[in-house]
Amino acid sequence: MAAATTLAAEEWRSNSRVLIIGGSGYIGKFIAEASAKKGHPTFVLIRENSISSPEKSDIFQKFKDAGISLIHGDIFDHDSLVKAIKQVDIVICAVAKDLIAHQTKIIAAIKEAGNIKRFVPSEFGSDPERNNAIEPAKSVYQVKVGIRRAIEEEGIPYTYVCSNCFGEMFLKNLAQVLDPPASTHLPTDKVVILGNGNSKVVFNQEADIGEYTIKAVDDPRTLNKTIYLRPSGNIVSLNDLATLWEKKIGKSLERIYVSEEQLLKKIEESAFAYKVVLSLCHSAFVKGDQTNFEIDPSLAVEASQLYPDVNYTSIDQYLDLLLLQEVNH
């Protein structure tokens, strides 16, 4: 009986068809590529007017080259959404934060279609239910929690993916989110550290997030559970990160500490979009909300323990790549 169950699970995994909503977005494209690489028949939902978008042409061509199918549909067009969902087994949503609340439309379409084995809503950050976030991050998380409850109330099979911080987004400038927030340069003289710099944060490379997500979506062990991406080589404090970079470049950096009180004042004075970024960083970097709790095995699993075969890129390795790029430039 056990062998038959295993075989059935393997058959499901080998044949499951995956639809990614928001697949051409920041994290969505990594998930789509990971799905295709694993051999899933992979579909990316696109609006009809997006196919001719110059900004998306390179991404769409890359998808086609990888064997990913583009399927027309829109989360605001119920009939097209149901039609797309009926063609697959698994739905992964990776829409940006301004569309998070509209995932109720996807839930309604999944419910009507009646064929989905797993739904992964768009989260891909810290756990929205395990944090000490202040506004406006608090409201962002509350919306995600509301989507979770809606999924559960409809009895839709799910997996919640808490990928923590996007590695490339933060490591390319050593998590320098203050003045200017859009800086892409690695520090060579001084480094700004939020809080006391001792809270542990998790930085995962985006391609690894894609791979872990695809492994989880059709794994019976992650059914109706949260999967946390906490590989040991990707857990550091901001002080640890600064020290690691100092060793790479062979010099000490001046460390400028921004107290929690100073950061809260900065959040209060900033424009709304920047308030969101800084309040999310306050939660992760100052409060340590990505690592300050134990994972409950009855409700959740940890990705690197579940999939030790994934050769993820550690922070140390990623900084080596960045250093090499700096030298080559």
Which residues are known to be catalytic? 144
CB–CB of 198/264 below 8 Å?
Answer: no
- Look-up: residue for tokens 């308030």? 275
Cis-peptide into 136, omega within 30 deg: yes
Question: Per-residue DSSP letters for 227-295?
Answer: EE---GGGEEEHHHHHHHHHHHHTS--EEEEE-HHHHHHHHHHS-HHHHHHHHHHIIIIIS-TTTSS--
Count of CA atoms in the C-beta half-sphere (13 A) of 80: 12
CB–CB of 196/261 below 8 Å?
Answer: no
Amino acid identity for residue 135 in this structure? E
SS3 state at 162: strand
Exposed e or buried b for every residue in 210-246, given b needs 16+ CB within 10 A? bbbbbbbbbbeebeebbbbbbbeebbbbbbebbbebe
